[in-house]
Amino acid sequence: MTRKGLLIILSSPSGAGKSTLAKRLMAWDPTLKFSVSATTRAPRAGEQDGHDYFFRDRAAFEAMVAAGDMLEHAEVFGNLYGTPKSPVEAAMHEGRDTLFDIDWQGGQQIRNSSLGKDVVSIFILPPSIADLESRLRGRGQDTEEIIAGRMAKSQSEISHWAEYDYVLVNEDLDTAEDELKTILRAERMRRDRQPGLTDFIRNLNKEFDAR
């Protein structure tokens, strides 16, 4: 019997490295399924519908929410983002772990959902606020106005660190990656996540009885 898949949530303020760490985890373990979010924002250059995001207009997105087809959703910088429920449930039943790169609001909704008992949540912190701002500027993707907005929001985001199962400080990417792998290995080996363990112990006892 295959264990149920885990829901692995990575959250952080923008620029702390969660997306880079998510990509490294996916490269390390190709069996991980990355949760593709739906969004109402316009596609950026090179982005593909169904691969990077499910691009939907606001009416279609809100219809999915009303039908209960979103595991979580939130409005961020004027655009709606959310996680379609059916792909996540399918992966769980196949025994595949799903990786989420989402903010604290989405993480909170998933932890409070019917799938919450299968969640492993990890919050990524920057080593300093100065480093966080430097990383945002170093990406070269955002205007000064957007950077200022992200920095203003980061304090509120960081205040939710205590809601998570694990908290990592991403001072060095390689170290943070190793720590994430350690967490994932340990969570997969928890006694209540080894469905065949009871039968294995029962067979060991039969061997004792047969001696």
Please report, as a single letter, which amino acid is at residue 107: G
Strand order in the sheet with 7-11: 33-34, 98-101, 7-11, 119-125, 166-169
Query: What tokens appear for 160 in the block?
Result: 């939710």
Average pLDDT over residues 163-192: 96
CA-closest candidate to residue 61, choices 47, 73, 45, 49: 73
Query: What tokens appear for 98 in the block?
Result: 């799903």
Q: 100-125 pLDDT, tens per residue?
A: 988 898 899 999 988 999 999 999 99
Q: 189-200 pLDDT, tens per residue?
A: 999 888 889 999
Q: Which residues contact 39 (CB under 8 A, 6 or more apart)?
A: 53, 54, 55, 56, 61, 79, 80, 81, 82
What is the four-CA torsion angle of 170, 172, 173, 179, rounded to 10 degrees? -70
Q: The whole model's pTM is what?
A: 0.84
Residue 1 is predicted with a pLDDT of 54
Residue 91 is predicted with a pLDDT of 93
Instruction: Identify the structural domains of the chain with CATH numbers, from first to last.
Output: 7-209 (3.40.50.300)
